[in-house]
Amino acid sequence: MQPDACSQQPSCEVLEAVRFPILTFDEWQHGRTPGRGFNPDWLLPGESLISILWKFACANALPGDVLMRTMCPDADPREGMIPLRSALDPNQLRRLLGLPVNVLRTSLLGRTSGDRYHAAFRYCRQCAAHGYHSVLHQLAEEHRCAAHRQELRTQCLQCRRQSPFIINSSVIEAPFRCVWCRSHFCYGLLPVRSTTPAMRRQDRLAIQDRMRLRLGRDASGGSNG
């Protein structure tokens, strides 16, 4: 069963001293300057679309149902969809988010006869502490985080339930939190600070190397620095 839509505004109080550009919905939807709503430097290699949308919704103060209706006007915001390339068009996402198509393609999972992924949201607690979730975390053959070597988890440590690996209004409104009890996936509060990547360079490089091995030469996505 999929989680009901949350009636609250996005829970983004964890973004300390936010210096993201905050737009009104009308500014964002109609004729905004490309790049105002999101900056590629905010991303880390191999970032999943769910992780990207969490940052985008917080940066632009967008409720989950508004973002879902704009991104997928034909879908029920409460039901949502699995973030697969067959379900979402990277070119359409580029117009919405202002990010390169190759980054957005990498943020989505493919669906071929050889692809296997987890239906439950999987996470590394240290990655979550950096405001990051990787597409690698969802691949069935990946059992540990490429950067931190931690075992990937699916259960919330508080309520022991699993969040679904889908994009819907309720998931968007629980950034790096359990969709059921709203507990943080990381150790304590999420310390995302503005546009400065918190993850060490060696950890970002480890993720890039694993992305290239698993998903191809051009699949690193996000910041390389």
- Distance in angstroms (rounded) separating the CA atoms of residues 152 and 85: 23
pLDDT at 214: 82
The residue that leads in pLDDT, 17 or 119, is 119
**Residue in 151, 157, 221 with CA at minimum distance from that of residue 186:** 157
55 part of a folded domain: yes
Domain total of the chain: 1
pLDDT at 104: 93
Q: Is pLDDT at 120 greater than 90 in this prediction?
A: yes
The average pLDDT across 54-82 equals 89
Q: What is the pTM of this model?
A: 0.78
pLDDT at 72: 87
pLDDT at 3: 55
pLDDT at 15: 37
- Distance in angstroms (rounded) separating the CA atoms of residues 135 and 23: 28
209 part of a folded domain: yes
8 part of a folded domain: no
1, 47, 104, 141 from 51: Cα distances, Å: 22, 6, 11, 21
The residue that leads in pLDDT, 68 or 129, is 68
Do the Cβ atoms of 169 and 78 come closer than 8 Å?
yes
Q: How confident is the model at residue 11 (pLDDT cuts 50, 70, 90)?
A: very low
Q: How many residues does the chain have?
A: 225
170 part of a folded domain: yes
99 part of a folded domain: yes
93 part of a folded domain: yes
pLDDT in tens, 137-168: 999 889 999 999 999 999 999 999 999 999 99
Structural domain of residue 103, as residue ranges? 25-115+166-177+189-215
Q: Is pLDDT at 196 greater than 60 in this prediction?
A: no
Do the Cβ atoms of 14 and 130 come closer than 8 Å?
no
Residues of the chain with pLDDT > 70: what percent?
A: 72
Q: What are φ and ψ of residue 78, in 5° steps?
A: -75, -30
133 part of a folded domain: no
Do the Cβ atoms of 211 and 220 come closer than 8 Å?
yes
142 part of a folded domain: no
